[in-house]
Structures are given as structure tokens and as C-alpha cells.
Structure 1
Amino acid sequence: MTSMESNMRINAVKTVEQFHVGGTTLSFYSLKRVERQGLKHASRLPASLKILLENTLRHGSVASSGLTDLSAFAKWLDEGQTGAAVSFYPRRMIIPESSGLPLLGDLACMRDAMANLGGNPHRINPKIPIDLFVDHSVTVDAHARPGAALINHALEMKRNAERYSFLRWASRAFDGLRIFPPGSGICHQINLEYLANVVEIVETNGETWAIPDTLIGMDSHTPMINALSVLGWGVGGLEGTAVSLGEPVSLAIPEVIGCRLLGKPRPGVTSTDIVLSITQILRQQALAGKFVEFLGPGLNSLSLSDRATIANMAPETGATVGFFPVDDETLRYLALTGRPSSHIEVVRAYAKLQGLWRDDTQADNNLYTSFVDINLENVAPSVAGPSRPHQRVDLAAAPIAFSALAPLAPSSPAHLTNQLQNGDVVLAAITSCTNTANPSSMITAGLLARNAVAAGLMSKPWVKTSLSPGSKVVAAYLEASGLQTSLDALGFNVAGFGCMTCMGNSGPLPKEVDAQLLDENLVVASVISGNRNFEGRVHPKVRANFLASPPLVIAYALAGTMAIDLTNEPLGSDRNGSPVYLRDIWPDDQSIRKATHESITTDMYQAQYKNILKGSAEWDQLAVTDAPTFPWNDESTFIRRPPFLDNVALQSSVSEDILNARVLGIFGDMLTTDHISPIGVISAGTPAAEYLESLGVNPSDFVSYAARRLNHDVMVRGTFANIHIRNEMTPDVTGSSTLLHPASVRTAICSAAEQYRREGVPLVIIGGKEYGAGSSRDWAAKGTRLLGVRAVIAESFERIHRSNLLCMGVLPLQFPDNVNRKSLALKGDEIFSIVGISGGLKPLDMVDCVMTRMDGSKVAIPLHVRLDTQVEIDYFQQGGILHYVLRQKLSENKALQE
């Protein structure tokens, strides 16, 4: 590498070019000119990295020197080095209210701290547009009946009035915050169908510019928008707070895996089958922190909606993004969903000028880190379960997959007696943006329902059925096609427009089912068209959970059990007593295409989104406070001032070594953020339930952990308290349990942490591989910090949770290869001392750990510090990202005053 390449700085102004579309002149930062100025092979970058390069070029161009540092890209191109960091400035943010409420709570808390420290609270204000969607609170209370959606909306508004009033306050207090009210739909689907522009047109200093549409979202499934060639991914709530205030996302330029899709799907194969197969294959590739780009001739057979199903589940593969390039299908979808034709031409022109247009002849020449080939012809009808999205099996093997949890009943007497057996399906939900954003999948489900009704089949009475579309467009075309009538007949009435069952708001089971589950040790199942199926996530009493396409969800509702092979055994009998098989009612591909084409129009999208920001009467009638700072109520059990900036100082203190720390918990591989900080119902007997009861809250009013994410006293008691979590220090029980040492007293996690706090004892958590998998759950890190945990030591971390930990000032440490909790024979009674923190850290540093066993013997363990960039070190050493940003704003405020 030449010295010029290793210190690559160019004059960004000299890369500016212009192009003309429909009489409009648009300026842009030309990546071709970047290459001509010396960044060799820039044209061979993967498309996702070209967007990162443009972002770096554009934001670096305002530097005082006039030069933009592209050394990180030069190293990546020249040597494949991925450690060099860049700053990514997203154009906008999307957030569901479940993570948006904590973000707004943190901003409100920062305003208080700003005022207390002599600053102007108005300095705490979003710097980029934020779209917040109230989509995570609606619950399936009413189902399988007319008007279910209206009933569920009314209950949602009653339960969440205080939370939603806080949101209304925030929309007035903070600039640039736009709220999509309850009932609008799911954030990712609305982003796909309505918000995303692919290319943004902006006015700057009297000049019109074309720039890539980019975003971050405070939900792990934000990469769904990658299907539309928009670069975006999920971040933790803490990093999101900083980005909202103008901080960049710091990331090492990642490896980019080229996933070549070959062949064409066979008849009867859905996009769900495809994504489950892709997830299973890619999960084996160790993709944490990496980008995936899809290419190859197989794309020709995938609609934009099919691609969205695939991109949505990028987190389940382990990747940061699952990116698709711009092509004619991208433009077709933009036209279908009502984007202006003039803008579509801008997208076409810009993509071709910048090398973002799909070119299969060039793709193999691009500098991908490696390739993975997947032949779509090999994909078969599938389900995934019983507890992880990558546990895909062919449909015929579903009974075998279930039997990994419990033996199936030898027969199915439940079909005759309503007496539940192992393997019976008690929840069947067409839910989630993953699949309801796919018209082909939804039309297939509707046609299958019509055929099932015509054959005389009905859903089994013990199955709770529901349909919760991700946008109102879905309901419109199902109604217009006449297919909703058949869905209603099988109990799949629209129950609401939100995440609902996918994220755990499945509501109560039928009373007779719930009673049997209380009385008997049964393992029953759910089948949902969602993206996650961790044990206890869908419903705390449902241990086996399977992901499937919308039509297969209906099929399992008809069968009522996982015990049968749907490819060879009948779903039931027709009116004449003859067996009816799945193949008898499955619609052919031609019928699906015809119904899809006839049912879905551009006018539908335009009509449904015309008044998308208008809320219901209940929403409009909420009490709203109009003030720059929020009037906290200490008596509230929903909205409390967060404690994370209590006693914050103007200057940060030096990070200290961790000495004589006790172990609070030892956990196995793939401990999810759902296990660390559950979002669903607050179960009786848990520490959080006992706390609320002590305040006089009726159990029927507990609502959920998600609803109480702005009450730290509830949430800290919910940390490591999922009823299915298993601490290896107390392996015979599940739930919140640990041993308090040195006396080895069994107690709840939060109780032990409180005792250690009183004694001044620091704490560590020990984990396995892929620690913190799953949702971008900020409280999984916030709760960890409030418990007094100074460090988490694991074999590997999922990306978002690692970021959340360091952003809370909790040090993520990684065992060296071939060292783990098992090789060390950890019991939890050991004492850990970790030194090298106070002397200053550099990215990907090492620190020394000495573990002392009960017998006094010591083991030295070198640990990798998973602070991957200098910005991450800065956040950690300031005590967390909230402290860092607050001090930045105070410094800016002081400079303005001077």
C-alpha cells in the first residue's frame, strides 16, 4: 500500500457533479470522481459500502480542512481490513413506542440534568427527524369475532393513557418528532410502503442535492428496509438517543458477504419458506457485525415484498443488514405504492450514476469478503422451531422438531374430546411485518381459507386465532378481494394493526385451555407468521413456538396439533366424512398471481396513507402537558424519572479496575434479550409482580414489562427474571434465581444484587456464545447496570446488546478461544479481579483477569475488551453514552454563552 492510500484524504468539493431529471438539476457527491481522485477500486465496493462511502464523503466535506479522510475505505479496499472505524450519519430515525418511550424518557431526564447544571434544556433536542410508531402495545384480547380490532383498540387506550399522554407531551416538547398514533400499523411496514424514498432530495444553501435515504431504527428488524435499497439497521436505545442528538453511529467498516441466489422457487414455496432456509444457512456463517448483500439471477423471481421478508430477518442470521441493490423491481414497487413517477426517475438515474444499480455481470467482480450460494430450487415448505428462528425443518419433519421438547401424544384425542395433549396448537396467529407486508403470502392465506371453508373445515376450538396486519392496506385488499370473509369464518378476524402476537402481546388463552395448562404439565405449541419464537416470548405458558407462512398458520389452526405430517396426513374431514389434505386446499401459483394482481392497486396505498397521522377520538382526547420539561409524578407506576443521570458530574472520573467481584449469574449459549429483560406479561410470583402488588396495583392492571419501561423499579426487578431463564448457579429452577455468596443462600437476582450493593461488592455476569441475541432491548443493558454489574464476560456477543452494554458503562469482555465457563468449571462462587481498565484502553484491547476459587487457588485469564472503536471507548470511559452526550451539550451551551 502506498502512503497516499494509507492516508487517503480527498477534497470532497471536487467530487461534486450534477445530473438532470425532468427539468430539475440535482447535485451529488460522485463516487466515480472519488475513484479518479485516488481511491482505487471504489467502483468495486459492494453497494452497501458505496452508500457508507458517500455518507462519509458528504459529512466529511464540512471539515475545516476541506479534506475528507477516506483511509478506512482505502485499507478495506487494499487489504480487506475491517477494523478501521467510520462515522455514519443517518438521515432519519424510526422507533416503535416500546423503545421510543425510554428514549424520550432519557431525553426528558437529560433536559432536567441540563437545567440543574446551569444549561439550557432546549439544547436537548433531536437533530434528525424521528418517526415514532405506537405499534407495540395493542394486545389480542378480543379475537375471532366481528369488531375485535375496535375492542382491542379501546382496551389499549384505557391501559396506556398515561404512557400515551407522555408521548403527546414529547411531540410538543421536542422538534422533529412525528408520531404515528395507535392503529396505524407496524413501523417497518409503513416505512417500506410509505416513508422510504431510496433517494432523498434536500435543499442546502440554495442548491438541490440527491443523497441516499439512510436511517437507523430502535428495533432490530429495521433492516427490512434494505429490500428497498435503503441502508439502515437496528441500534440499541442508548445509541439511538445519542444519534437523535446528532452523534454519529461509529462502526468498523464491516466484512460484506455476497449471498448469491440461484434458481427459481418451486410451486407452492412461499417467501417464508425461503427466508427460513436462508436464515438457517446464514446463521452458520458467524455474521455478527457483518453486512450481507443479495445478488444473482435468483433475484429475478423475487418480488420486492419477497425481498422484504428476507431482509426483515437479517438479525436472525446474525448480520447487521441484508441489502438488495436497486433494480427494475425496486422501481415497480415504488410505483405500485404511489411514489411519484418523477421521483422514481431520480432513483433510477442516481442509482445508475453511483453504481448502486443491480448488475449481475459485475457482481462477481465486486470486492465481497466471501460468497455464499443458495439455490432457491432446493427450498421446500418449512417451519422453524421449537424455540429459535434458525431451527428450520421441512414441513414433513415438524412433528419430529416438536418432539425435541416433549413426546407427542400417540394419537389425537383432542380432536374428539377437547382434552389437550402434548403438541396441540393453542395459538395460531397471522402476525408481524415479516409476512403481512407480503401480498402474495397474504393472498395465498386468503385463498387457502376460502378453499378450507368450501371443504367444510373449521379451526379447532382450542386454537386461539388472530390476524394482525402490519398496515391497513392489507385489510383493504383482503376485504376488496372478498377473502376476508373466509378468513373470518376460520377465526382470523382482524384483531388490530400492530405487532401483537409477534412480540408477545398474544393476550389470554381461552379459559378452558388456560385451566388445563395450569392443572397439567403439558407442552403445547403456537404457530405464528412472525420472526422470533424464543421460549415464552409468544405466551409464557406456550413452550413450543413455530414460525410458518400465513397459509401454514391457517393449516395448523385447522389441524390443531403439531403431531401430524401436513404433507401426508389429513387436516380433517369434509361434510361427507372424506379426508381433506393440505394439498387439496392449497391454491395454485396462477390463482395466487391472478388474485394478487386483481386485488391490489396504487389507489389503495394512497387512500390508506392519506390520513395516516390522524388518531382515534380516544387519542385526540388524551390530556397533554405543554412544557419544555416533563412534570414527573413520583407516585406513578408507569412513568418515573429515569435514574441514569442522578448525581452526574460536569467532569467524568477515571474508569476503575474491577476488584473482588462476585458472580451474579452464569448463563448458557444464545441467552436472548427476551430472557434478560422480558417484554411480555408480568407473571404472578415474579419480583416485579410482588413489587407492584406491594404498591396496591391489581394483578389485572400489571399490563406488561413493555408498558412499564419508564419505571426503573419494575424493570430492574424484571432483569434476568424471565420465567424461562435458567441460571447455571441454580440449575434446578427457572426464573429469577441465584446464590448469594459466600454463604450460598438462594435468592432472587434483584435481592442478591441489592445485598451486594449494600456491601459494596461489584458484580459480573458470565455468558456463553451469542450473548444478548434477539431484540434491541435497551433495558437488558439498563437493568444489568442498575443491578450493579460492572462487566459481562462471554464467549461472544450479539452486536446490538454489546453496544447497549458499553453505552451503559458495563464492560463487555470476551473469553479467548477455547476458554469458557465450562472449561473453567465455573460454579459461581469464584471471585474475579479485572485490571488494566484504569490505565486507559484502546480499541480491541486486552485486560488481565484473575479468578480466585473458594479453595484459594487462582487462574489467570486474558480477556478481550469488546470496545471496538475509539468512540465506544469514549462512551464507556464517560460512564455511558448518556453522560457523554450530556457533557457534550453542556460544553456547547457554555461555548454559546461565552
Structure 2
Amino acid sequence: MLKKELDFADRKVMYYSLQEFAREKGFDLAPLPVAVKILMENMLRHGSSDFVSPDDLSALSEWNQTKGKVAKDINFHPGRVVMQDFTGVPAVVDLAAMRNALSENGGDASKINPVIPVDMVVDHSVQVDFNASPSAYKMNVKKEFERNSERYRLLNWAQKEFKNFRVVPPGTGIVHQVNLEYLADVVTLRTVDGQETAFPDTLVGTDSHTTMIGGLCVLGWGVGGIEAEAALLGQPLTMLIPEVVGFRFTGKLPEGTTATDLVLTVTQMLRARAVVGKFVEFYGPGLDHLSLADRATISNMAPEYGATCGLFPIDDELLKYLRLTGRDEQRIRLVEEYAKLQGLWRDPKVEPEFSDTLSLDLREVKPSMAGPNKPQNRVVLEDITSKFEKVLKADYGVSDLEARSSVEGTDYSLGHGDVAIAAITSCTNTSNPAILIAAGLLAKKAVKAGLRSKPWVKTSFAPGSQVVISYLEKAGLLPYLEKLGFHLVGFGCTTCIGNSGPLRPEIEKAILAKKLVTVNVLSGNRNFAGRIHPVSQASFLASPPLVVAYALAGSLRIDITRDALAVNDQGEKVYFKDLWPENSEIEEVMAMSVSSDQFKDKYAEVFKGTAEWAELSGTSGSLFAWTENSSYIRRPPFFDKFNEEQKFVDIKGARTLAILPDATTTDHISPAGVIPFDEPAGQYLISQGVSSSDFNSFGSRRGNHEVMMRGTFGNIRLKNKMLNGVEGGYTLNSRGEQSTIFDTSMAYQKKGIPLILFAGKEYGAGSSRDWAAKGTLLLGVKAVIAESYERIHRSNLVGMGILPLEFEGGDSVDSLGIKGMGSYDLLGVSRLSPKCHLTLVVNEGRRRREFQVRVRIDTSGELDYYRAGGILNLVLKHMSQ
């Protein structure tokens, strides 16, 4: 029998025994990766459903032999879903629209309801409008509610009308940090087939950094809102049996380095190893010297190194963290017993087997930053200045490195490399007490040495949890951070998501006057071009203490490892090395300032929210009351024809909407930040009576498809290879004239002409942004042909009924000489099967050429989604029947 019993709180609970399954199938459980064991348990528990077959279980039981290198698709049932508001609001809009569609077709609208727990944490909407002031937090929260009350009323309605749906209100924390510190169980208890059952906590989230929870040995990853909606409605996620890459740590981090330096090193190594679509699991004796917070930092950045997830096993360090964060002691004992029974416990005597391995001696890690526009572009701190000056010439075309621009009304000027923004932000690093205390200690020493942040630097502090402020206050370090301008501006993603807020007008004017390349230094995980700020171009990821250091230096062109960091009012030179705290000092402060009571106190009323949240009033009733004149929330058109039969015929006479280069990210496809006044989205809002001061951001407007489709491919840094030297959302129309991508799309769609996109490598890298697929669909794109895809975006394209295709045999737009101004046919669409080939016919000029392209619909389940016109249409069809 696979069902066994274990004791919990004076009662018996059931679990599905992996040891017993291994005995039945005759394989050795011990060396299997933890991730495979969790998937195996998930399939055993759902073995009686229509989605798991004996063949699936047999294939997974042979992982020791295949190492995941067989193309076998399986179905995974996540135990819960987490959302943030930028991606969560459009998901709720979709669910509300699905209720309308089902009701209008004679169905029961209440069927559209989460069947597994869903937690939404509102963390992406706060913007740094006010900073460097004791009142910054309150003023930013006030502004946030003024801008977003309409969106928040939708969430208020959803919280009342949907079962299994909870909202962590604005001003509380960042979703991944709240998940790590409070929401995650590690081992879940839930009724299965009438019996209380223990099983591993698993989830998917509508944010790519859901992977952070892998530090707690919780298997989870980011998906688009499309897949998340399907999962919460009871649909499994179809996936291939994964390859699992083992990353072995040895040694211990040297003095003067942080978890940020480590994760940037790991990101660079794994990105070079090409782990896209694979699981990564960390092991080895070096884990003895990595705190849970260090591990979570590494797991957080799995999207940056390209993996589906980054998982750590369960051990004493994990239990210690559960106690620190105030988890129930009986549940902690359950985690330990269950982990040891199921082989999830880290056993130093067992060397796990993986599909591939690589290793790192932690003693080799050096202080680092990453930039100016990719997280994997790590630069050792001592080389930052010289490397950046080369980048200024090579990548930004700067000829006069010493150009200066005076700042109106001040006695200083700005030059290339000066720091415009210094932000302690993002769950990646603010979940780690050691590096935040290091930042506080460095600030303390700087203040005592008589230093101040440079006046042109916009400073901000936005931690992912209220607990951070508690321990910094207890340690007496918060006042020193504030004296350097790092006042609390909000509990949310802020600068990391692009909500850095405006620079002072005179600063922005000076930058634009001489086309300066200024720098943003942030403790985040994303620094893609155009993401952090539209005017300040270069962005570097760094640890919180380095963020403070560069606010003091004011320029990336000061080599802080050799030169004086700054000069105080007495004319004394102060050096970075003299401010950096030793590990023993950090550990001593942590021991006296970070306690379990702080977590228990701050999470006691986590769903209560601020006074502004309590004052919100929303509509009620099973159907949402759409408002036609709303500029934030509109009923989307995705489900209007869900019952119509889809026809699958060859795509003929298609035109090219754009040819996009390597590493085109979801930020390029669907920006989250500023809405430009003079572009289609801004002009639409003006036509609706919205003033430019009330535009808010693309991220906050994701409940309005009219805004979002006009913003698709509207990033100011987008490069379309059909145009030479032009940046932004432009293309060539049918007459060969430059026009906006939106206007060109509308003209083609009016004539019934299908559209395709060409792209390079790593298309869709970055955030799990479902609007990057939704907007593509609304612009009339039927297929995307790329050299390679990032995992989540490829899934999102399929989930919206768009055909993802890949060039074969090293082919590319450049090698094939495709210019984008002809017409194109895709032959074989009616005979689609997973990973089959289609014929691409290129008709350019008088030449007709044929090439083979591979279909990137990877599983039979994905083929069903595509044939239904998208995964949610398939769900609706099932429910209506």
C-alpha cells in the first residue's frame, strides 16, 4: 500500500510513501533529486485522476536511468497559487470575464472559482513619488490609493465573491518575501479523498521570482496569469519530465562578500551553462555555510539564470528559519519527520545524481555588480569603473567621456556615469537580514565619518517585509540610513519593477541636455534596458551596502576599491574599505536585533491592511459590474467566441509586424513602467479624458486591454531590425513607411491580413508577463518565429493560441536574409503535432524560398490548448458542457 500514516498533533495523518513506491518499482530513491521526488509524490497523489497514467509514473520512476532526457510529458498539480497585483489584477479581470461568458452561454457563473488556495499580495503598485523624507511612506501610500483605488475595488470584490481567495493588502510586503516568511507550509495538510493528508507544499505564481520559495524546499515557479488561472480552476500544468542540473557548493564565503555577490556569480555560471527549461538543485558541503536567507536569494534569481526553479533540500538550517519566522512548532516537527520519511532531508552521506552538474567553491566569490542591462553581466567590483567606461564607448556610443551638464539652480553638474538612482529595493535582497544590517552598519560608519549622499542621487528604501524595519530599528541602524536619504518609501517592489518614480525636473533636464548616460544602482534582480527609468539608462544590480556606497560616491566612475569613496566637510578622504563591516560585527548585531517575536507580530494581521484599504467599498454579486467609461478595468474580448469552432488551416500571405533582436525581453514586448504621452497608449488615455499626470503606469493599467494592446512592443528601447537606428514601438507599414506598430497592426487587421513576428535568441526573457502574449494576440499575430524562447513566454504564447516556432539548424533571420517586407506562408498547420515541423515560405521580391521551422508546442496538453484558441477557452468549453 502506498498510503501510510504518521503522527501529528495527537492524531494520524496520511501520506503517499515514496519509499514504498520505490520498492514496488525497484529503483533507488535515495540519489534522486529532491525535485523529482516532489513531482513523483504529486503524481502518486493524483494517480486516480484522468491526468495521471501508470505510464507517466513508470516514466518518472526511471529517472535514475534517463536523467530526464526523454521527451515525456506529465501533468503537475500545484497545491496553491500566489499572485502579485500587476499580473494578478488582469487574472481577476479574466476570471470575471469568464463568469460573464459562461453565464451568457447558459452556464453557472459560480463554477468560475478557485479550487485551490490563492493568495494575492498587492506589492507592485507603489511608486517612489516621494523620497528622502520621514513622510515619504505615508505620502506614497496615499498617492498609491489615489491612483489605484479602482483596481483595488476589483480585488475587494474578488476577495468577497471568490472562494479560496485571499488578498494581502497594499503596504504590507512583497509577494515572495511574504511567501517565504509566512505563507509557505513546506509540508501541507489538506483533505484528500476524505482523509487528512500530508504532502509537499507546491505552487505556481504569476511572477517569475516565485522561485524564491525554493530556498525553503518548496517546488514552485513563475507562470503567466493564463496558466495560473487554469491551475486555480483545477487544470494541471502540462510539462516535460525535467532535466535537473545539480549545482555543488563547497567552502565558505570570504570576508567582505555577500549573498548578492554569490547569486550574481551563480547567475553568470548557470546562464552560460544554458539551463533554460531545466530544474536546478543545490547541494554539497557548502550548504552548511549558507543561511536560509542566502539560499532564498539564490533561488529568487532562477529566472535570471534561466532555470524553471532553483531548489534546496530540507535540513536543520531550514527548520531553524521556520522557528525564527514564527511557524508553529508542531508543524515544524511534521516537516522534519515527513522530510526524513520521504527522502527530502539533506543527507551529507548521499551524493545525489543529476542530469548535469557544476560546482563553485564559495571561497572564490568576489564582490560584484551586474549591468548595465542584464542580470548575468557580472562585473567584479574592482573592474566596474574601467569596464563601464568601455561600455560607454562601445554600447552607448559616447565619444566625449568627460562631457558635463550643469544642473539648473545648483552648484554642481552631471556627467556620464553619475548615479541618478540608488535604491535598496526588491525581495531578492531585502529578505536577507545579514546584508541589510551590513547596509545599516556601513551607513552608520559613513555618517560618523561625516559623509552624505550626493545631492543628485535619488535615494530610497523599499523592503519586502515590515519585519525589516523592526530589526533595523532595534539595531539602532535605521536613523543612519535615513540620514543618508534611505527613508522608507513603501513595502513593495518599487524601483525593481520600474516604479522608480520621477527624477527631479532639473536633474532630468540636465541628463537630456547632453544625452548623458547616468546610472541606477539597485539591490534588485532585473535591470533590462528601459525598465528602471526612461531617462537614466544604465542600471547595475548590487548588494544593499553597495547601493549605499554608490549614493555616497555619486558616480560609477569613481573606483571605490582604490580611490577615496568621498571627502567629508573637513576635507578628509574616506575609503570604502574603512566603512565595510566585518562578518563578526554583522553576526553580533543580527543576534541581538532579529527575533521570532518580530515575525509573529508583523504577520498577526497580515490580511488587515491600512486604513485606506479598510475604507474601500466595492461591488458585490457573482458577476462583476463592468463600467464602460473605466480607464483601468475593462471587460476583455478573449472569451467572446469561446464556443466557436476553431479552424486550423495554413497561414498564407502573412506580413511581418517586426523583426526583433536577441534577448528581446517581456519588458520590451509589454512595458510595465511609464506610459509615454505621445505614443498610442498615451494618446488613447488622453482621448478618454485622462490627464498625463494621471497616466500611472502600464503595470497598473493591465486591467484595460485597450491601453495594453497599444503599449505592446511600445518600450522606448525596443529595436526593430526592419528599421535602422530607430528605437521604440515602430515598424514599416505596407507602403514601406515608418509607423507605430499599433497603427500598422490595425491597418493590416482591417484588411484581414495575418501577421507574424521574427525574433532572435532568448525571445521573451524576463518577467512572467502574460500581457506580452495577450497584447501580441490582440495585435493580430498568428505565429512567432524565433531562434529560441525563454520558458514562460513560450508557454504564454501557446496559452493564448499563438503558434511559437523555432528556426532549425542554426538558421536565423540574418542567415536566411529575411528582410520583413515580403509575404510569408506557413504550411502544415492543419497537421500539427507536438514538436513537428512546418514549412516557412518566404516571398520577398521575385524570390520564393522554403525553410523548415520547428513547432514549439511541446506536449499533447499544449496542443489541446492551442486548438481551443487558448487554455482558458478550453476550460470554458469544458465547463459549458
Q: Same fold, TM exceeding 0.5?
A: yes
Alpha carbons 1:72, 1:86 under 8 Å: kept:
no
Aligned to 1:853: 844
Aligned to 1:875: 865
Alpha carbons 1:114, 1:890 under 8 Å: kept:
yes
Aligned to 1:396: 382
Aligned to 1:437: 431
CA distance in 2, matches of 1:193, 1:107: 28
- Residue deviations 1:119-157 (CA, integer Å, cap 9, x gap): 111111111110001100001111000121111000000
SS in 2 for 1:114: helix
1:494 aligns with 2:485: no
Q: Give the counterpart of 1:242 among 226, 230, 242.
A: 230
1:53 aligns with 2:40: yes
CA distance in 2, matches of 1:644, 1:205: 35
- Residue deviations 1:642-687 (CA, integer Å, cap 9, x gap): 01112332x5323221111111100110100000000001022211
1:672 aligns with 2:665: yes
- Residue deviations 1:269-326 (CA, integer Å, cap 9, x gap): 0000000000011101111110000001111111000001110000000000000000
CA distance in 1, matches of 2:405, 2:743: 45
CA distance in 2, matches of 1:295, 1:465: 37
Return closer, same or farther for 1:506/1:64 CA change in 2, 3 Å cut-off.
closer
Q: Note the C-alpha offset of 1:44.
A: 2.7
Alpha carbons 2:27, 2:62 under 8 Å: kept:
no
SS in 2 for 1:823: helix
Aligned to 1:610: 604
Q: Note the C-alpha offset of 1:518.
A: 3.0
1:163 partner amino acid? R
Q: Note the C-alpha offset of 1:593.
A: 0.4
Return closer, same or farther for 1:683/1:332 CA change in 2, 3 Å cut-off.
same
2:187 partner amino acid? V
1:751 aligns with 2:726: no
CA distance in 1, matches of 2:53, 2:241: 23
1:135 aligns with 2:123: yes
Range with greater deviation from structure 2 (472-481 or 207-216): 207-216
CA distance in 2, matches of 1:478, 1:601: 12
Alpha carbons 2:22, 2:61 under 8 Å: kept:
no
CA distance in 2, matches of 1:64, 1:745: 51
Q: Note the C-alpha offset of 1:697.
A: 1.4
1:669 partner amino acid? D
- Residue deviations 1:375-430 (CA, integer Å, cap 9, x gap): 11111000000000000011011123322134584599989942110100000000
- Residue deviations 1:849-873 (CA, integer Å, cap 9, x gap): 111111x212211111001110100
Return closer, same or farther for 1:265/1:834 CA change in 2, 3 Å cut-off.
same
Return closer, same or farther for 1:200/1:579 CA change in 2, 3 Å cut-off.
same
1:777 aligns with 2:764: no
Q: How does 1:302-313 map to 2 (within 5 A)?
A: 302-313=290-301
Q: Note the C-alpha offset of 1:745.
A: 1.7
Q: Note the C-alpha offset of 1:65.
A: 11
1:229 aligns with 2:256: no
SS in 2 for 1:570: coil
CA distance in 1, matches of 2:824, 2:51: 47
Q: Note the C-alpha offset of 1:206.
A: 5.4
- Relative to the length of structure 2, the TM-score reads 0.97
Q: How does 1:467-616 map to 2 (within 5 A)?
A: 467-616=461-610
Aligned to 1:3: none
Consecutive unaligned residues of structure 1, counting only runs of 5 or more, are 1-13, 892-898
Alpha carbons 1:102, 1:709 under 8 Å: kept:
yes
1:572 partner amino acid? A
CA distance in 2, matches of 1:644, 1:397: 50
Q: Note the C-alpha offset of 1:361.
A: 2.2
Aligned to 1:44: 31
Return closer, same or farther for 1:869/1:553 CA change in 2, 3 Å cut-off.
same
- Residue deviations 1:2-48 (CA, integer Å, cap 9, x gap): xxxxxxxxxxxx21112235533232111111111115234432001
Aligned to 1:272: 260
Q: Give the counterpart of 1:420 among 414, 420, 426.
A: 414
Aligned to 1:632: 626
Alpha carbons 1:15, 1:29 under 8 Å: kept:
yes
Aligned to 2:715: 722
SS in 1 for 2:877: helix
Q: Give the counterpart of 1:657 among 640, 650, 656.
A: 650
Q: Note the C-alpha offset of 1:599.
A: 0.4
Q: Note the C-alpha offset of 1:818.
A: 1.4
1:269 partner amino acid? T
Q: Give the counterpart of 1:163 among 151, 159, 176.
A: 151
Alpha carbons 2:805, 2:855 under 8 Å: kept:
yes
1:460 aligns with 2:454: yes
Aligned to 2:789: 797
Alpha carbons 1:763, 1:790 under 8 Å: kept:
yes
Q: Give the counterpart of 2:674 among 677, 681, 689.
A: 681
Q: Note the C-alpha offset of 1:817.
A: 2.2
Consecutive unaligned residues of structure 2, counting only runs of 5 or more, are none
2:455 partner amino acid? P
Q: Note the C-alpha offset of 1:173.
A: 1.6
1:334 aligns with 2:322: yes
- Relative to the length of structure 1, the TM-score reads 0.95
1:385 aligns with 2:376: no
CA distance in 2, matches of 1:593, 1:412: 43
Identity over the aligned pairs, expressed in percent?
Answer: 48
Q: Note the C-alpha offset of 1:520.
A: 2.3
CA distance in 1, matches of 2:56, 2:243: 20
Q: Give the counterpart of 2:853 among 850, 853, 863.
A: 863
Q: Note the C-alpha offset of 1:758.
A: 1.3
SS in 1 for 2:453: coil
Alpha carbons 1:537, 1:674 under 8 Å: kept:
yes
1:23 partner amino acid? D
SS in 2 for 1:720: coil
- Residue deviations 1:424-472 (CA, integer Å, cap 9, x gap): 0000000000000000000000000000000000000000000001000
Alpha carbons 1:652, 1:879 under 8 Å: kept:
no
Alpha carbons 2:14, 2:196 under 8 Å: kept:
yes
SS in 2 for 1:842: coil
SS in 1 for 2:392: coil
Aligned to 1:837: 829
Aligned to 2:288: 300
Return closer, same or farther for 1:15/1:63 CA change in 2, 3 Å cut-off.
farther
Alpha carbons 1:60, 1:69 under 8 Å: kept:
no
CA distance in 2, matches of 1:135, 1:63: 37
CA distance in 2, matches of 1:278, 1:560: 28
CA distance in 2, matches of 1:184, 1:429: 19
SS in 2 for 1:362: coil
CA distance in 2, matches of 1:807, 1:66: 24
Alpha carbons 2:462, 2:494 under 8 Å: kept:
yes
Q: Note the C-alpha offset of 1:64.
A: 11
Q: Give the counterpart of 1:119 among 94, 107, 112.
A: 107
CA distance in 2, matches of 1:65, 1:312: 30
SS in 2 for 1:139: coil
